[in-house]
Amino acid sequence: MIAVIERNPLKERLRRGEALVGAFVNVFSPELIEVLGLLGLDFVILDGEHAALTPETAVELYRAAELRGLPCVTRVGVNHPQVIQKYLEGGALGVLIPLVSTPEEARRAVDAVKYPPLGRRGLAASRVSDWGLGPLSLAEHVARSNEETLVAVQVETREALERFDEILAVEGVDLVFFGPSDLSVALGLPGQPTHPRVIEQIERLGARAREAGRWTGTIARTPEDARRWRSRGFQWLCTSVVDLIARGVRAHLDAVR
C-alpha cells in the first residue's frame, strides 16, 4: 500500500534541471490519460480554466494517471481555497493558477495549497491522505504534501508584468508559467502569441524568475518551439493533447493520401 502522494516525480526532475514535456488535457477520458502515460509523456495538466472540469471527473483522471505513473497537475480556474482544495484532496500533484496579477493573488494560491504553517489549507482525511488508513499519519501527510505539491502561477496580464518582482518574492511559488496568448492581449497584440515582443517578454522575465530560484514554463506547441525554449532555460514545456492528436492525424492522412 502506498500513499497517493509519495514523492512528486515532477518536482524531483525539475530539481535535477531536466526539461519536461507535457500537455494540457481538455478531453477528459481516463483511457486517454492512460495512453499518454504509456507513450511516455512527462506530465499532464488537466484544464479546469478553459474546459468543464469538475472535481468528480478529475478524481477518475487522477486514478488513471497514477495507474500509469503519469504526474498530473490541474489548472484550477478559480483562485479560491474551497475550489482548489477539492482537486488537491482528489489527488492532484500540483496546481497551475491562471491570471495571477498581484503578490496577494500569488499568496492566496500558496495559502490554498500549503498546510500551516506554510499556508492555510484545511486538514481532513480524504483520498489524498488515504482517508487516514494508509502508511502515513495525517501529520506525515501534512509534511509530505507541503514538500511535494507543486505551486505554479501564470503570468499573463499587464498588471502581472508591472508587479512581476513582487510576485516572484512570494514564498511557496515553485514555478512561473508564461501564457503567450493572454500576454499577447496584455501587450496590445491580441492573437499574436509568437510576436517578437511577446517572445522577448517571456525570455526576459523567465531569466529573472530563474535568478529568483523559480522554475519556468511556457507553451511549446511544436518540437522546434520546445527546443528553443529549452535552450533558454525553460523546463516546463507544454503543448495540448488536441495539438498532439491533430499533428498525428494530419501526418497520417498526408502520408496515406
How many angstroms separate the Cα of 166 from the Cα of each of 68, 90, 202?
A: 38, 31, 17
- State yes or no: is 141 an active-site residue: no
Instruction: Take residue 85 and report the three cell numbers written for it.
Output: 482544495
DSSP 70-96: --EEEEESS--HHHHHHHHHHT-SEEE
CA 232 – CA 59 distance, rounded (Å)? 35
Classify residue 175 by burial, with Cβ atoms within 10 Å: 0-12, 13-18, 19+.
Answer: buried
| Contact between 77 and 96 (Cβ < 8 Å) | no
Catalytic residue among 50, 141, 195, 252: 50
Q: Would you please indicate which residues are annotated as catalytic (active-site) residues?
A: 50
